[in-house]
Structure 1
Amino acid sequence: MPQNRIRLLVLSGFLGSGKTTWLRHQLHSGHLRDRTVIVNEAAAAPVDDALLADLAEVRTISGGCVCCSERSAFLRTLREHCNESQPQDIVLETSGLAEPAAIVEAIRADPLLVHRILVDEVVVTVDALSALERLKRDALIRAQIETADVLVITKLDALEGEAAGRLAATLKSVNPGARIMGTVKGAEVALPDYANVAAEELPPLREIPAAGPIVAADIEIDPAMGWEVFSVWLSALLHARGDEIFRIKGVVRTPNGRVLLQCVQKSVLPPEILPETAAADLRFDNRLAFIGRGFDAKRLKQSLKAFCG
């Protein structure tokens, strides 16, 4: 019976769309209390678990997406969780490259998990600043949105009323059955009335040209280089290649302590100082994950070395 199964909420959304911010707010406000959190990172160096560890029990699967390359690790993690004496319900925060439908199908195809796990909701975060353009040229974000039970428009304060209404109307045209909500820094805010707003015209999926693969590359940052030099290099890189680098994140040691550094395309988010706790995993300090197209770790390292001379 459904009431006897472990409930799983799948949280998805494209790179930098605000999944962790939304989840942190939900955990902090108690809406997802007593849930184990599984964090999936496409890059080898995990980051998001550090932001959630003080709010929930967190397990991490890194180095690939649980919908494909890390599917076996994900299913094994779920089986181990089911075998615990008092297993909690689960939140899965996927990588920004995951397809939620493939995750749901993997659970339904597993002869054990299909009887133990109930996928009760798929929540997809949508970046208010970039969603309309991505819907026109990226099949992945379209697939994520089509799968959702709930669509969470993040960073809504960055849009004027007319633009926000057009985005909501477009999302409704892509997924008529989904509930749509707006948020600012994880907290829900009212959406403008979009009942009579025209949706943006989107090309059929078959007309969206195939893009190159999205890759994840980790590079180590030499602490001796200096924060100022690294900041200048990063700014120059984003200015030149920001349209191809979708996401940068990592923990860098600075004179002020361990700093979480995050970038979404050409935007550098405000740095966040992480607490120095005994539970902190220091193995991945001074390693940055770059996710995007048209580059690899070797070329990034060459660029940094050439810049720093």
Structure 2
Amino acid sequence: MAPRSQPSERQRRLGTELRKLRTRAGISGSRAAEILDADRARISNIEAGRIDVSRNRLYKVLREYGCPDGPYFDALMGMAQDRGTGWWDDFRDVMGRHALDLAELESRAASIRVHQPLFIPGMFQTEEYAQAVIESMPSDVESADRYVQFRMARQRVLAGDAPVPYHAVIHEAALRVRISSAQVMRKQLLKLIEVSRLPHVTLQIFPFERGAYAAYSRPFVLFGGPTAELDTVYLEQPPAPAFLGDGERNDEYGKMFERLAELALDPVDPEAAPESHVQRDSLSLIQHVMYEL
């Protein structure tokens, strides 16, 4: 099989983890080739995600690399078995590789933490808001409806029998930036309140008066993996989004998110009665902005 030119993020990540384990074990690429009875080029392609490795061969490699039994070992074996197929395959005609990788990563995440400074996160958007955002960007107008359908389909991770825990810190600017009409924004803010009352969703608003914390202008998503070693940071940046799997960088963004959550208003409490809101919190700010529309 010829090496693939566009490996998925899952395939790249598995290869990266194998390279980390090999390097940590002090095993050369040539020795790894001997273990798999392959040539050095094949090892390079496996570690770049361009060629798959069978479960039997992966099991042998992990043993040789000294990877201990446990959740991390099991997760790597699962990544090799996973074919990466899902509902997102229906959108390959319009969505690029990064968008498909994002949907697959969301479907596998143990937890999701989001910071968004300018837009309502896609997971919370109404169809009308999503349509307006997509139409404001340079894209194929004929594909806009399909883009919206894709964004709405991504929201299924918040539903079902085992929804993913989701924590969002949204800057107040995202509430106030007028996307389309006042009616569209009012409906969007109502949905924000509705979704924030889900027991597995934590929603906080970062108000203007808390100052210009260094991270507030940088959108990012933290995906919790089956183990800490497989956590991933997703950065929305030009010219293309980036997926980071480096432990130190992940820790950096994790601390950044913790600081944002500390500075943000208290989250919406689905159990609290309206009369219990004696001080300003995320719910009261959303309602205030909505009533100003």
Bucket of the pairwise TM-score, normalised by the shorter protein: under 0.3
Question: Normalization by structure 1: what TM-score?
Answer: 0.23
The structure number with the bigger radius of gyration is 2
Structure holding more strand per residue: 1
TM-score by length of 2: 0.24
